[in-house]
Amino acid sequence: MLFATLLIQNSKGSDMESPLLSIKNLTVDFKTTDSEMRAVDNISFDVPMGKTVGIVGESGSGKSVTSLAVMRLLPQPPAHITGEILFQGKNLLGLPEDEMRKIRGNNISMIFQEPMTSLNPVFKTGAQVAETLMLHRGMDKKTAWEKTIDLFNEVGIPNPSQKVHAYPHEMSGGQKQRVMIAMAIACDPKLLICDEPTTALDVTIQKQVLELLAKLQQEHKMSMLFITHDLGVIADIADDVVVMYRSKMVEKDKTRSIFETSHHPYTKGLIACRPDLGANPKRLLTVSDFMDEEGKGLMVTRERIQVFEKDYAAKNSNEVLLEINDLHTHFPIKGGFLGRQVGEVKAVDGVSFKLQRGKTLGLVGESGCGKTTLGRSILRLVEPTSGQIIYNGQDITKLAAPDMRLLRRKMQIIFQDPYSSLNPRMTVGEILTEPLVVHGLGGSKREQLDAAKMLMEKVGMKANQLNRYPHEFSGGQRQRICIARALMLRPEFVICDESVSALDVSIQAQVLNLLLDLQEEFKLTYIFISHDLSVVNFIADEVGVMNKGKLVELDRADRIYKQPREDYTKTLLGAIPKGLPKNLESFINS
Amino acid sequence: MSSQDTRSLWADAFSRLVKDRWALISLLVVVTYALVALMATLGIGMPDWRSSLGIEYLAPSGEFWFGTDLFGRDVFAKVIHGTKIAMSVGLITSLIAIPIGVVIGALAGYFGGWVDDIISWFITTFSSIPNIMLLISITLIMGKGLLSVYLALGMTGWVGLARLIRGEVMKHKEREYVQAASALGGGHYRKLFVHILPNVTHLVIINTSLQFQTAIKSEVILSYLGLGVQGEPSWGTMIDDARMELARGVWWQLAGATLAMFIIVLAFNILGDALRDALDPKLKGK
């Protein structure tokens, strides 16, 4: 018995003996003339041969900075790096720049988040991969191109011999990310660093890319360092997980152990805050249910995690607030001499549905399916080509501008990007009172500001922040301001267009809870547009699945998720990352 | 960012600007030139360029810093008067060109469609004519003199700005904050003037600092060609005078005018670059 234990320890020991990458006491400070910020605070972990290590954390937690430090891509100064980064036993921090350049792209490769901007738009995609080969492998042009076609084939790009001649704009987002992967594995790297490689992609494409990465890792016997804010993605791909919070490493363990017996309250919060297809809690748990401001763990009560079966009948009313009949929105494609119309895009192609007052309709679909255009057409921010929009019994499709303006008090929209949807030159107070000014409501300036203060508090912000500017807030806070602005006119109908997609999962849960609270308090009717099916499952009563401008399936939320009828819906559902513990009870005993 | 003090993007930009030592020096130079021009216009404490104070062609000395000219007039006083002319040309042409450029560019960018087609055609046609030819023909039609210089430069200076503003307005028009304003019921006036224009104003400021020095240089060229300022000294006419004098070894009139022009043009260029760095909102927000 003792012998056996020793043996196991021994084999474990030899397994851990020579990790490919070993980070020891890494600390990164950013020093500027008037400020100093610690981005990474004394973290240590190993990436073993042929394994995948995931780094999870929210934006600003230091996970990307860690990966850039490994690549030595942080400009010094302002960055100040201490500690050791051992790659195959060599300390990368001590290497001269020209030696580091040989390692970069050759032994260590990196894939970035945004495939749209990582490729040079003026060169053929094939040429960009071939360049890497010629540079690092010393291949001549002909061999490099042949190898590039092989690589395109390997990463699953259709018609590789033709696609190597395509420019980046001629490819879809998923294909571009495949090109980036081809470029990264071109020189058979030992370590592949993936920095949020699927965050910008649709869920079905994300699944394909993750499968591809897992397959390539097996075949090339690579190690991977996988960075993401989404624990759901990590569960599918990583062997070990490092959890980062406010520049510190709060937990590291085997992926299974992290999900089953995580110790740190932050990790628990992170696992719990992701909406789950299997359960319908009334509210989502958030990180703040597990830990207070100072990072001290809290006990979770049974009441907090209670799971409700949604009572779909309770919200039933016979009052139809919105009725859409055979709505079409087409955009002309201009081309040729003098911009003649050469065709049209049917962004919304014959959509009909009814929405009852007080309910939430979720619209899901991949990018380009027309869900955003549908939302904007309903508000007539984009003019529909034909069809009918009946709001509260009134046909508003052809309503004249002054009447439409009056109606805008009742109908509002919350956008996706909290960075571009607030005017950077206006204070939050000006932004929030603007709706009242436009409609000449709300009495004196002081009364308008009081109304703004009240809503600031309602969305969980402080009333004394009204004289600040948008750039002084984080993404989640800005989205709260956007929500407050939409509610200033006391609307009865709000379209949320991907309103939580740009937020970290932990912030996303808070905003979703807020939207639900506000719906109850202000008796709102929502159309919730999202590409994320689990989010829609959590918030919506009815779900419409869109594909190519058409509503392919529309049903009660639970039926869509339990018995999808259409193949397209099944594909979408199958692509959602799995591997999270389904049992909320496990959060109770710490 | 501390929790209490709050700063607008403008205040932020200003504090970035004054941290740049060269920008600060350039700003001081520009302010000094502007003060000199103002005082010369009001006739306070500035030397007299009209009367002969010494004999002809005195070399620079303690009494006449830049020497004297053919009529024994103080060259330094002429440089000062030239400064007044140059700054007034810069100021007045900017005052004419910027409103035209902003309005035309904003209308084209905001409304698009046929409005944009017509304005773009106009801009393209206008900018395909060589600038100096246009300036010369305008001054020939309207007669020589300072007034013609103002109008000619003002009427040609808006083209670049209009094109810049048009592109920027097009970009901002699609931003979600402008769409949010539509959703709130805001009209064209509110979207364009309350939301979009304050977000492109920084370009106007950067452009003005470059426009200003282009106008100064153009005035010098026009005056040098004899089409500009008549009957009073400007840097251009001084350089023109110096053509004859150089053969006789009289270099100070040329040096004085050139130096004065060189310093202000350099200052505006550095300031323009620094303004661009300080005001570029792309650095902010993320």
Q: What is the pLDDT of residues A551-566, one digit of tens each?
A: 988 888 888 888 888 8
Mean pLDDT of B3-18: 70
A462-487 pLDDT per residue, tens: 888 888 888 878 778 888 899 999 98
Q: What pLDDT band is residue A378 in, cutting at 50, 70 and 90?
A: very high
| Cα A542–chain centre separation | 23
E strands of A483-590, at which residues?
493-497, 525-530, 542-547, 550-556
Query: CB under 8 Å to A368, separation ≥6 — which residues?
Result: none
- Domain map (residue ranges) of chain B: 72-267
Token reading at A294: 């100072």
Quote the pLDDT of residue B219: 87
Rounded (10°) angle between helices B131-142 and B197-224: 70
- Return phi, psi of residue A384, to 5°: -70, 150
Residue A313: the pLDDT is 62
CB contact under 8 A, A423 and B198: yes
Q: Which of A413, A422, A426 sits opposite B183 (nearest CB)?
A: A413
pLDDT value for A232: 77
pLDDT band, residue A374 (cuts 50/70/90): very high
For chain A, the residue count is 590
Angle, alpha carbons B238-B244-B246 (nearest 5°): 85
User: How far apart are the C-alpha atoms of A287 and A509, rounded to whole Å?
Assistant: 9
Determine the residue type at A425. Answer: R
Which residue in B180, B187, B286 is closest to A415 by CB distance? B180
Beta-strand relationship, A550-556 and A36-47? unpaired
At A278, the pLDDT band (50, 70, 90 cuts) reads low
- Contact (CB<8Å) A469/B281: no
Mean pLDDT of A159-166: 82
d(CA B87, CA A74): 46
| Touching A: B residues 54-83, CB under 8 Å | none
Q: Are B229 and B219 in contact (CB under 8 A)?
A: yes
Q: What is the mean pLDDT of residues A79-96?
A: 83
CA distance B214 to A1: 90
Per DSSP, the three-state class of A347 is strand
| B176 neighbors A482 (Cβ within 8 angstroms) | no
Q: Does B8 touch chain A (CB under 8 A)?
A: yes
Preferred mutation among B117, B177, B199, B282 to probe A, highest tally of A CBs within 10 A:
B177
Which one is predicted more confidently, A486 or A311? Answer: A486
Q: What is the distance of C-alpha A493 from the center of its chain?
A: 25
- Token readout for A230 is 């989404």
Give yes or no for a cis peptide into B233 (omega within 30° of 0). Answer: no
Task: Judge: B199–A425 Cβ closer than 8 Å, yes or no.
Answer: yes
**Alpha helix positions (H), A186-230:** 203-220
Token pair for residue A219?
């075949």
Give me the mean pLDDT over the A88-104 stretch. Answer: 82
When pLDDT is averaged across residues A386-414 and rounded to a whole number, the result is 89
Quickly state the pLDDT bin for A578 (edges 50, 70, 90).
low
Residue A290 reports pLDDT greater than 80: no
Contact A29, A41 (CB under 8 A): no
Tell me the pLDDT band of A582, cut-offs 50, 70 and 90: very low
Measured CA to CA, the distance from residue A539 to residue A546 in angstroms comes to 17
The values of phi and psi at residue A108, to 5°, are -120, 125
Token reading at A404: 């439409």
Task: Report whether B104 contacts B119 (CB < 8 A).
Answer: yes
Whether pLDDT at B47 is above 80: no
Distances (CA, A) of A30 to A78, A175, A339, A378: 5, 35, 51, 47
* A20-34, A384-398, A513-527, B76-90: least confident range: A20-34
> How far apart are alpha carbons A191 and A184 in whole angstroms?
10
**pLDDT > 70 in chain A, percent:** 87
| ipTM, 2 dp | 0.73
- Chain A residues whose CB is inside 8 A of the B1 CB are 472
Q: In a mutagenesis test of the B interface, which of A434, A467, A485, A488 is the best target, namely the one with the most B β-carbons within 10 Å?
A: A434
**What is the rounded distance in angstroms from the CA atom of residue A274 to the CA atom of residue A232?**
8
Beta bridge partners of A389: A324
B6: left (phi over 0), alpha (psi -120 to 50) or beta: beta
**Confidence category of residue A9, pLDDT binned at 50, 70, 90:** very low
In this complex, do B7 and A469 lie within 8 Å of one another by their Cβ atoms? Answer: yes
Rounded to the nearest angstrom, the minimum Cα separation between A222 and chain B is 33
In the beta sheet, which residues pair with residue A553? A545
Give the pLDDT confidence score for residue A432 in this predicted structure: 92
Cα B199 from Cα B174, distance rounded (Å): 13
CB-based contact A296:A302 (threshold 8 Å):
no
Q: A35: nearest CA in chain B?
A: B1
Task: Give residue B189's identity as a one-letter amino acid code.
Answer: Y
**Does the global pTM surpass 0.80?**
no
| pLDDT (0 to 100) of residue B56 | 75
- Least Cα distance to A229 among A539, A502, A480 occurs for A502
Contact A413 B284 (CB under 8 A): no
Q: A261: buried, middle or exposed (CB in 10 Å: 19+, 13-18, 0-12)? A: exposed
Rounded CA gap, A156 and A153, in Å?
Answer: 5
In chain A, % of residues over pLDDT 90: 8
* B246 has pLDDT over 70: yes
What is the end-to-end Cα distance of chain A in Å, rounded? 31
Mean pLDDT throughout B8-17? 78
pLDDT attached to residue A16:
47
How many CA atoms are closer than 13 Å to the CA of A565, on its beta-carbon side? 11
Pick the more confident residue, A166 or A299. A166
A-chain residues within 8 Å CB-CB of B2? none
Q: Are A485 and B180 inside 8 Å of each other by CB?
A: yes
Q: Determine the Cα angle at B215 with ends B211 and B220, to 5°.
A: 150
Question: Are A470 and B199 in contact (CB < 8 Å)?
Answer: no
- What is the spatial distance between Cα A247 and Cα A525, in angstroms, rounded to a whole number? 40
Q: Kindly tell me the burial class for residue A108, based on how many C-beta atoms sit within 10 Å of its own C-beta (0-12, 13-18, 19 or more).
A: buried
pLDDT at B100: 93
Other CB atoms within 10 A of residue A62 CB = 23
- B169 token code pair: 């307005």
pLDDT, tens digit (0-9, with 9 covering 90-100), for B118-154: 999 988 888 888 878 888 888 888 888 888 888 888 8
Rounded distance between C-alpha atoms, residue A238 and residue A191, angstroms: 14
Of B117 and A120, which is predicted with more confidence?
B117
pLDDT band of residue B286 (cuts 50, 70, 90) is very low
Contacts of A381 in chain B (CB under 8 A): 179, 182-183
pLDDT bin (cut points 50, 70, 90) of residue B165 is very high
**Cβ–Cβ of B175/A482 closer than 8 Å?**
no
Rounded to the nearest 5°, which phi and psi values hold at B277? -65, -40
List Cβ neighbours of A33 (8 Å cut-off, separation of 6 or more).
Answer: none
> Is the Cβ of B188 closer than 8 Å to some Cβ of chain A?
no
What's the pLDDT band for A13 if we cut at 50, 70, 90?
very low
Q: Region A114-129: what's the mean pLDDT? A: 79
Flag whether pLDDT at A8 surpasses 70: no
Both tokens of A549, joined, read 């401008």
Alpha-carbon distance of B234 to B252, in angstroms, equals 15
B113 touches A at CB < 8 Å: no
> A26 has which bridge partners?
A43
Out of A278-282, A452-456, B75-79, B132-136, give the one with best mean pLDDT: A452-456
Q: Which CATH superfamily is domain B72-267 in?
A: MetI-like (1.10.3720.10)
| Confidence at residue B239, expressed as pLDDT on a 0 to 100 scale | 85
Q: Each residue of A528-548: pLDDT tens digit?
A: 998 888 888 888 888 999 988
At B142, list the tokens: 């309207």
- Contacts of residue A486 in chain B, CB cutoff 8 Å? 183
Residue A238 corresponds to which tokens in the numbers above? 């990583």
Instruction: Inform me whether the C-beta atom of residue B6 falls under 8 Å from chain A C-beta atoms.
Output: yes
Q: Can you tell me the mean pLDDT for A242-251?
A: 84
**Is B183 within 8 Å of A420 when comparing Cβ atoms?**
no
**Residue predicted with more confidence, A378 or A31:** A378
Indicate the residue of A413, A422, A469 with minimum beta-carbon distance to B8: A469
Contact: A438, B186; criterion CB under 8 Å: yes
Return the H-helix or E-strand segment holding A272. helix A265-272
Per-residue pLDDT at A589 exceeds 50: no
User: What pLDDT is stored for residue B67 in this prediction?
Assistant: 75
Tell me the Cα Rg of chain B: 22
